[in-house]
Amino acid sequence: MSDSSLFFVGTATTLLRCGGFTVLTDPNFLHRGQRAYLGKGLWSTRLTEPALSPAELPALDAVVLSHLHGDHWDRVARRGLDKSVPVLTTPEAARTLQSRQRFRRALGLAVWESHTLVRPDGATLRVTALPGRHSPKPLTRLLPPVMGSLLEFADPSGEVLRRIFLSGDTLPFEGIPLIREHIGEVDRAVLHLGGTTLPGGLVVTMDGRMGADVLETIAPRRATPVHHDDYGVFRSPLSDFLAEVERRGWDDRVDVVERGGTIPL
């Protein structure tokens, strides 16, 4: 991997490296055929293999977790990850990780709240929690709270090296334009897609059209789609998103990465 890179493990799980930091996002290491618990008695079967296991991970500086769902934080991650690593997540998820799973350094961030990690050489990583909405507003209590994230990597002099936006499992809603106003331009947006559809037809993650809407609103320099083909509840394939961004003339900003692949940040 290069000094500034994104390695795609699968689902929404990535390894981000920049400025000496190594960050794992939304750790999902279930194998093909295993089931992820989605809450309220709902399960979904994994259709793909992750590119890495927890035992193959490099040393981590932090985990950024958008929410506590079985396709973002699973039993393999819970057992295999180092419990001393900071986990930056929602307040609700942090309480569960601390009290039930012994991740004592889990830290809950309220919307717009930031936490800064500092390396011995003075390099910093600031993580800011951003608004997210996992389901249509009348049904928000059915699913766990979700956050987007802004990751700002800076060198020891304070110069910002990269600004990365992680969408989390959000739908387009009034908070997305607020994110753009609040954070300004970002170097890369990592978009959770898939059009996750629950029984009854409830869509709870962005389909291709929604993903293109958020891409246009956030307007990053580059964008990478993830979370689009790993589970049976994902009903909007990557091709939906790629066709839509091409139709709108945004395809020149999109970098697709395969599981096990690496792209520069």
The three-state DSSP-derived secondary structure of 27-55 is CCCCCCCCEEEEECCEEEEECCCCCCCHH
pLDDT-derived band at 135 (thresholds 50, 70, 90) equals confident
State the pLDDT at residue 200. Answer: 83
Number of structural domains in the chain: 1
Q: Please name the residue ranges forming H helices in the chain.
A: 75-80, 91-101, 175-183, 208-218, 238-248
| pLDDT, tens digit, 9 for 90 and up, residues 49-75 | 999 999 999 999 999 999 999 999 999
State the pLDDT at residue 1. Answer: 39
Residue 147 lies in a domain: yes
State the pLDDT at residue 77. Answer: 97
Instruction: Report the side by side order of strands in the sheet with 188-192.
Output: 114-118, 124-130, 148-154, 160-166, 188-192, 222-226
Distance CA 111, CA 94 (A): 14
Residue 262 lies in a domain: no
Mean pLDDT of the residues in the chain: 95
Using an 8 Å Cβ cutoff, are 191 and 211 in contact?
Answer: yes
User: Residue 120's domain is classified under what CATH number?
Assistant: 3.60.15.10
Using an 8 Å Cβ cutoff, are 223 and 192 in contact?
Answer: no
Residue 261 lies in a domain: no
- Structural domain of 83: 5-253
Distance CA 233, CA 49 (A): 16
Residue 240 lies in a domain: yes
Residue range 226-247: mean pLDDT, rounded: 97
- Please say if the pLDDT value at position 177 is more than 60: yes
Residue 244 lies in a domain: yes
The pair phi, psi for residue 208, each rounded to 5°, is: -60, -45
